[in-house]
A and B are shown apart, each in its own frame.
Chain A
């Protein structure tokens, strides 16, 4: 890891409150990195959806399982990883929520929203054997960031 990279990693309980906590933490990093209001909204929503996915589908809302959130800030992008302790899933098998037959489905839009709001999105099998959502957003151009130093003020190193 270079000196320009910043890393934040926390372990969250499998509970509803973790969704808000994860979103708030990532929003602070995104704001400090110089993202504008719209991008912060998209990043926050994506983190929220990633943690909801881990809470509900991955960990099956079981309190004995954990949610692992990691944020990396490089000189070009913000990378967010959300890892659960479930059985993993095949991204290709997720139904398309925009298909006519799924429009009135009461669930299944989280993956779609993360894909829509982030620049890169993928799901892998993580070290726990569960699903690891990996998504990223390119940093705003330096000229658009306060003092031209996007990404330099963010991300305290923390283990919880």
Chain B
């Protein structure tokens, strides 16, 4: 399943809902394009909902790290929401689970932004 993406506002936070696979090629490219596009629109608080993403490969992980550092370097915040078990396991074994701010409840995640 190719990656799909929509976004919506939750106060000053932009919630980005992804579904599908974030893998080498179109998936990782869409993630990159989406994050950069939102930053260019001035949306600096991004909550990435991965609840419907059950597969990420190393290219997808790399793109998530790129997104995280890009947002941070521009003075914004990027957080993750609703990790599936496989994605959570992947972030844990790569030690990225402690790098990203990960949440399981949207309202609480939105409140956590500065």
| Residues of chain A having any CB pair with chain B under 8 Å | 16, 19-20, 41, 45, 48-49, 52, 97-98, 103-107, 109-110, 112-113, 116
When chains A and B are docked, how far (Å) is the Cα of A98 from the Cα of B65? 14
Query: In the bound complex, how far is the Cα of B68 from the Cα of A109, in angstroms?
Result: 17
Q: Is the CB of B62 within 8 A of A97?
A: no
B23 → chain A, closest Cβ, in Å?
7
Chain B residues whose C-beta falls within 8 Å of the C-beta of A16 in the assembled complex: 24-25
Closest residue to B63 on the A side, CB-wise? A106
The size class of the interface chain B forms with chain A is 20 to 34
In the complex, A49→B68 CA distance in Å?
22
Q: Are A52 and B59 in contact (CB under 8 A)?
A: yes
Minimal Cβ-Cβ distance residue in B for A52: B24
Q: Which residue on chain B has the smallest CB distance to residue A19? A: B24
From A20, A48, A116, B93 is in contact (CB under 8 Å) with: A116
Task: Write 23 A-B pairs (CB below 8 A) sorted by A numbering.
Answer: A19-B24, A20-B23, A45-B57, A48-B23, A48-B24, A49-B57, A52-B24, A52-B57, A52-B58, A52-B59, A103-B95, A103-B99, A104-B65, A104-B69, A104-B99, A105-B62, A106-B63, A107-B58, A109-B94, A112-B94, A113-B93, A113-B94, A116-B93
Distance A45 CA – B59 CA, assembled complex (angstroms): 12
Contacts of B95 in A (CB 8 A): 98, 103
Considering only residues 56-114 of chain B, those with a C-beta below 8 Å from chain A are: 57-59, 61-63, 65-66, 68-69, 86, 90, 93-96, 99
The minimal Cβ–Cβ distance linking A155 to chain B, given in whole angstroms, is: 24
Q: Which residues of B contact A41 (CB under 8 A)?
A: 86
**Complex Cα gap A113–B69 (Å):** 22
